[in-house]
Amino acid sequence: MPEQTEKRAGLGKKLGCMFGVFIVGLLLIEGAVRIRQYMKHGTTETTVFSNTVDEATGLMIPEPNSTTGGIRISKRGFRNADLDDPKPDGRVRLAFLGASTTFCAEVSSNATAWPHLVNDALAKRFPDRSFDYCNAGVPGYTTEESLTNLEGRVAPLKPDLILIYHATNDLSGDTNTLAQEGGIYTGKPENPSWLAKISLTWYLIEKNLQVAARQRQSQKASGQLKFDPSQTEDAFRKRLETLVVAAKNHASAVALITFSVKVRREQDEKTRLDSCNTSLFYMPYMTVPGLLDGFEAYNRVIREVAQAHGVILIDGEHEIPGDDDHFNDSVHFKDLGCEKMAERVIRRLVAAPAFQSLVQ
């Protein structure tokens, strides 16, 4: 009996030691992940910047006068330097309307986001003119929120040129409605588990597992939306036209920009699937062909609306290579992607008679 008791005590000590080593290992991994998050984004949280409600419009906007890593928000809640108010005489002011793909949380600083690069390039190209800009992109916005954003927050800044970059959130919202009506999606995203709320490591693991599961699901015919872009493109057209008309009422020139995505038809099947990782996360009922059809249809609408309303069209969405060097995920740019985006915007902007008239 004493010998058995001693063996059990020894086994208990070994198990306790192993458990302690396991816990220490988890803490070390969690610490390393949080350090990496802080070095990359200036925060250890899963969100890389803070939001608040704008009292005037009811919109969620970035916290004014806040700084998180390379993201610096002005006193008005925009991702740019504070603007002179009133606008100085002779100043050409740009305003960029869009969502997370305009806000560019994934890039290293305000100065590497494509709206800043566009403004900087124009200032160098036209040294006799004075330029500034308002990056009014906010993650999650559709054309509807951008309309409210324009009327309530951007128009008072007296922009001379308004550039509009929208598609993915509108496509997500439109197809979400179809999927709910078809009974194949509840419309409720999967909330993080209790462990994911306290552990950044587990949050990332959980999200990657969800992405992988949805990529697998997209390859199955059952439970997926049989999507025809004609079901939604007219609704997108109406919203976009409303936004363009409002923009023309507030600025001398307006530009519509076709939307660039990582997935391309010429890619092999695996690359296409990998390129749709976040698109499938937010639209789990879609297939890769459906996403390709949807983005192409919405870009066609952008071109048609630009022509119908006589505004500047900035196309060339495939000039940004669909690879890991330029895209952080399905739709968001890295620094190099923002450089290519700014190049295609500048190339077409300076050639447009409406812009030439503005700067002259």
Superfamily holding 51-177+222-359: SGNH hydrolase (3.40.50.1110)
* Contact between residue 220 and residue 285 where contact means Cβ atoms under 8 Å apart: no
The answer to whether the bond into 86 is cis (omega within 30° of 0) is yes
Q: How many residues does the chain have?
A: 360
CB atoms within 10 A of CB 209: 10
More confident position, 21 or 97: 97
pLDDT of amino acid 17: 73
Query: In the beta sheet, which residues pair with residue 92?
Result: 131
CB atoms within 10 A of CB 205: 14
Residue 149: helix, strand or coil by DSSP?
A: helix
Question: What is the C-alpha separation between 39 and 31, in angstroms, rounded?
Answer: 12
Tokens of 121: 């390039």
What is the mean pLDDT of the segment spanning 48-55?
87
Tokens of 281: 């996360």
Q: What is the pLDDT of residues 224-268, one digit of tens each?
A: 899 999 999 999 999 999 999 999 999 999 999 999 999 999 999
CA distances from 227 to 211, 213, 266, 285 (A): 20, 20, 21, 10
* Contact between residue 341 and residue 320 where contact means Cβ atoms under 8 Å apart: yes
The pTM of the full predicted model, rounded to 2 decimals, is 0.85
Choose among 131, 139, 61, 134: nearest CA to 95: 134
Residues 6+ apart with CB under 8 A from 321: 340
pLDDT of amino acid 199: 67
Choose among 159, 318, 128, 169: nearest CA to 250: 159
Tokens of 110: 């305000």
Question: What is the C-alpha separation between 212 and 210, in angstroms, rounded?
Answer: 5
311 pLDDT more than 90: yes
Question: What is the C-alpha separation between 299 and 280, in angstroms, rounded?
Answer: 19
Q: What is the pLDDT of residues 146-160, one digit of tens each?
A: 999 999 999 999 999
Averaged confidence pLDDT in the chain: 88
Q: Where exactly are the structural domains of the chain?
A: 1-41, 51-177+222-359
